[in-house]
């Protein structure tokens, strides 16, 4: 199979994306010079813009992209960007997508206010145009993202995360946003609730696959991946390969590994020990199987929609998620 390029998928909705970029910039404008300067900086550092792509491709599945679709895509970007700005403050992070974070350049107080401003702009964009059905979808996703983050913090203290809790955390933290993109796209066309729900479930499954793939990177040995190997272990994150390996281990082995994770992750040799333990337990293969299952489930939710270039592009997005190197 030839390599799937994100640019090829993006080209399917290139006109929609071009309109979106202008409208998104306009939606962020402020009369306060400092705010306007920061908004320009945020627009400049925009990443792959996969979220609006999901919105537009999903809308084309059920009907046509319209002004409501464009506002829905902007709403998601505004609210999501607000959460990222706040996340960087919480995590005391100096970088976002290879560029300085807002808090690194303008300090925490301004960053928090910028996040609040983005949130208010998203809410007003929907309220002023009566897009309450879209606001409900996205607001539920933001609630779930917050709950997922707090659930992870609560469980991470004692490292007592099993598979069921892990899947609930990634469903809320990662998959809920992609699910809302697909639901917003279909809902913006006036489609019935059953079709909106099907699109939402498609987005949820691809979101689950995306996060599981991300967790696999921590155990890869390739130099091509986007983060250092073993970083999740150093940060004491309980991801699926490790959870599976611990479940398969003897009581004594489990106790030994847990001791390393709790007390010795500052030693690179000990981190390698945990990596080796996970690889030898079959944790990598098991996690890949889970990821493939999510891919197949995502395909299944696409079936009810008519064949089109947009449906193929969404299938390609699923495959890109599984095949990506970073």
| pLDDT score of 141 | 93
Crossing angle for the helix pair 193-216 and 176-187, to the nearest 10 degrees: 150
Q: How far apart are CA 56 and CA 80, in angstroms?
A: 17
Torsion sign over Cα 125, 128, 129, 133: positive
Q: Count how many Cα atoms sit within 13 Å of the Cα of residue 262 in the half-sphere of its side chain.
A: 11
Compare 292 and 29 and report the one with higher pLDDT. 292
Q: Count of residues for the chain?
A: 326
In this model, does residue 42 exceed pLDDT 50? yes
Q: How far apart are CA 70 and CA 65, in angstroms?
A: 7
Token look-up 């946003």 returns: 177
Domains of the chain by residue range: 6-323
| pLDDT score of 223 | 44
In this model, does residue 167 exceed pLDDT 90? yes
CB distance 318 to 209 below 8 Å = yes
In this model, does residue 24 exceed pLDDT 90? no
Continuous H helices in the chain: 6-12, 14-27, 33-44, 50-62, 67-91, 102-128, 132-156, 163-170, 176-187, 193-216, 231-234, 240-248, 251-263, 268-281, 283-302, 309-323
Torsion sign over Cα 58, 62, 67, 71: negative
Whole-prediction pTM: 0.87
pLDDT tens figures, 214-235: 888 877 654 444 445 677 777 7
Three-state DSSP at 251 gives helix
Compare 320 and 203 and report the one with higher pLDDT. 203
Report, as an integer, the average pLDDT of 62-79.
91
In this model, does residue 199 exceed pLDDT 70? yes
pLDDT tens figures, 121-148: 889 999 999 999 999 999 999 899 989 9
Q: How far apart are CA 294 and CA 284, in angstroms?
A: 16
Report, as an integer, the average pLDDT of 3-27.
86
> What does pLDDT average to over the chain?
86
What does residue 100 show for φ and ψ, rounded to 5 degrees?
-60, 140
pLDDT tens figures, 294-322: 999 999 999 888 899 999 999 998 888 88
| pLDDT score of 47 | 67
Compare 306 and 158 and report the one with higher pLDDT. 306
| pLDDT score of 185 | 95
Q: How far apart are CA 278 and CA 276, in angstroms?
A: 5
| pLDDT score of 326 | 66
| pLDDT score of 222 | 46
Mean pLDDT check: name the lowest of 19-23, 53-57, 217-221.
217-221
Report, as an integer, the average pLDDT of 232-241.
82
Report, as an integer, the average pLDDT of 258-280.
85
| pLDDT score of 221 | 54
Cα–Cα nearest to 34, from 106, 136, 112: 106
Report, as an integer, the average pLDDT of 240-254.
90
CATH of 6-323, one of 3.40.190.10, 1.10.600.10, 3.30.2420.10, 3.10.180.10: 1.10.600.10
| pLDDT score of 228 | 56
Mean pLDDT check: name the lowest of 62-66, 101-105, 229-233.
229-233
In this model, does residue 256 exceed pLDDT 50? yes
Q: Taking the mean position of all CA atoms in its chain, how far away is CA 264?
A: 30
Q: How far apart are CA 184 and CA 203, in angstroms?
A: 11
Report, as an integer, the average pLDDT of 231-258.
86
């Amino acid at each position: 199979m030839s390599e799937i390029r994100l640019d090829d998928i993006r080209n399917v909705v290139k006109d929609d994306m071009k309109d979106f970029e202008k409208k998104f910039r306009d939606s962020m404008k402020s009369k306060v010079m400092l705010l306007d300067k920061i908004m320009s900086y945020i627009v400049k550092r925009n990443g792959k813009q996969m979220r609006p792509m999901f919105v537009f491709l999903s809308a084309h599945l059920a009907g046509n992209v319209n002004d409501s679709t464009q506002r829905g895509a902007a709403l998601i970007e505004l609210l999501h960007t607000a959460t990222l700005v706040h996340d960087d403050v919480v995590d005391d992070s100096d970088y976002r997508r290879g560029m300085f974070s807002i808090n690194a350049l303008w300090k925490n107080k301004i960053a928090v206010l910028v996040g609040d401003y983005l949130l208010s702009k998203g809410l007003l964009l929907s309220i002023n145009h009566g897009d309450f059905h879209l606001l409900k979808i996205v607001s539920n996703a933001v609630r779930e993202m917050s709950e997922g983050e707090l659930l992870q913090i609560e469980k991470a203290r004692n490292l007592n995360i099993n598979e069921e809790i892990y899947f609930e955390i990634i469903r809320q933290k990662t998959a809920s946003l992609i699910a809302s993109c697909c639901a917003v796209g279909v809902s913006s066309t006036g489609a019935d609730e059953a079709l909106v729900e099907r699109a939402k479930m498609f987005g949820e499954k691809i979101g689950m696959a995306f996060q599981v793939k991300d967790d696999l990177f921590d155990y890869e040995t390739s130099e091509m991946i986007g983060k250092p190997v073993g970083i999740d272990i150093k940060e004491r994150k309980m991801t699926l390969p490790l959870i599976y390996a611990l479940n398969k281990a003897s009581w004594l082995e489990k106790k030994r590994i847990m001791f390393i994770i709790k007390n010795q992750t500052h030693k690179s040799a000990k981190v390698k020990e945990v990596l080796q333990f996970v690889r030898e337990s079959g944790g990598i293969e098991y996690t890949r199987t889970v990821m493939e299952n999510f891919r197949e489930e995502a395909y299944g939710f696409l079936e009810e929609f008519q064949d089109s270039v947009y449906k193929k592009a969404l299938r390609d997005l699923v495959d890109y998620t599984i095949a990506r190197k970073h």
